[in-house]
Amino acid sequence: MTLQDFLARARLGTATPVFYWLGSGGWTRAQGRPALDAPATSFDIESALAQKKREEPRVYEKYIAGERTSGISRASLPKLACDCSGYVCWALGVARDSRSAEGAWFDTNGILADANGERQWFVPLDRAVPGALLVHPKPSKEGGPGHVGIVTEVDAAGKATRMLHCSAVNYLLTPPPGLPRSAIAETDTTYFDGEELTQVVMWKAFA
């Protein structure tokens, strides 16, 4: 895969109605690459919420509060879900658990650990370029998960200005003409404002 192939594939993801759910999307080595070439995996919101209520009641309550505020009907949600690193792995065409022989995941912390350590898969960059990744580790400034997005535009100083990413916030946005409401969208980089630990890294094969 070339850098341009990667960016083109990443853009294809915006055409799929996707709901954000942490841990969803992409595939693992045991599962194998699915025949359906979509960034997301099957998702049932009622089952997911029931599990979240049992295992993480505070996160569940936060979701319910956000649902009330959004005004979006639960019944209208897509039957596919993805998270930010699942989307990036899908766009790269790699299994989520292929970072090491032990099955370590390409999550945000894993991406940064590799870029700042062995550099087997990722390398750090001083300036953003299209196709690079913006990554911050967990916890975020608000205590939530880390985040990763694919840079699509930069300014003259090498600062990222636009990115493709999978985010719960994206699902609340009005989609561009011809595209469905989806957690996968191209936006500005406001998501990373104030995230002091954000780094710019590149898939090593593209560097």
Residues linked to residue 80 through DSSP beta bridges, in sequence order: 42
pLDDT tens sequence across 114-171: 999 999 999 999 999 999 999 999 988 888 899 999 999 999 999 999 999 999 999 9
Asked whether residue 37 is domain-assigned, the answer is yes
CATH of the domain at 149: 3.90.1720
Asked whether residue 72 is domain-assigned, the answer is no
C-alpha angle 152-154-157 in degrees, rounded to nearest 5: 165
Residue 138 has a pLDDT of 92
Asked whether residue 36 is domain-assigned, the answer is yes
Asked whether residue 171 is domain-assigned, the answer is yes
User: Which residues of the chain are modeled with pLDDT < 50?
Assistant: none
pTM: 0.94
Asked whether residue 62 is domain-assigned, the answer is no
Asked whether residue 69 is domain-assigned, the answer is no
Residue 171 has a pLDDT of 94
Contacts 24+ apart (CB under 8 A), 1-10: 1/92, 1/93, 1/205, 2/206, 3/130, 3/131, 3/206, 6/91, 6/92, 6/131, 6/150, 6/203, 6/206, 7/130, 7/131, 7/150, 7/152, 9/91, 9/93, 10/87, 10/88, 10/91, 10/150, 10/164
H helices of 116-169, in order, are none
Could you count the other beta carbons within 10 Å of the beta carbon of residue 22? 19
- The domain in which residue 182 lies consists of 3-43+78-206
Asked whether residue 50 is domain-assigned, the answer is no
Number of folded domains in the chain?
Answer: 1
Residue 161 has a pLDDT of 98
Asked whether residue 73 is domain-assigned, the answer is no
User: How large is the angle between the packed helices 84-92 and 3-12, nearest 10 degrees?
Assistant: 130
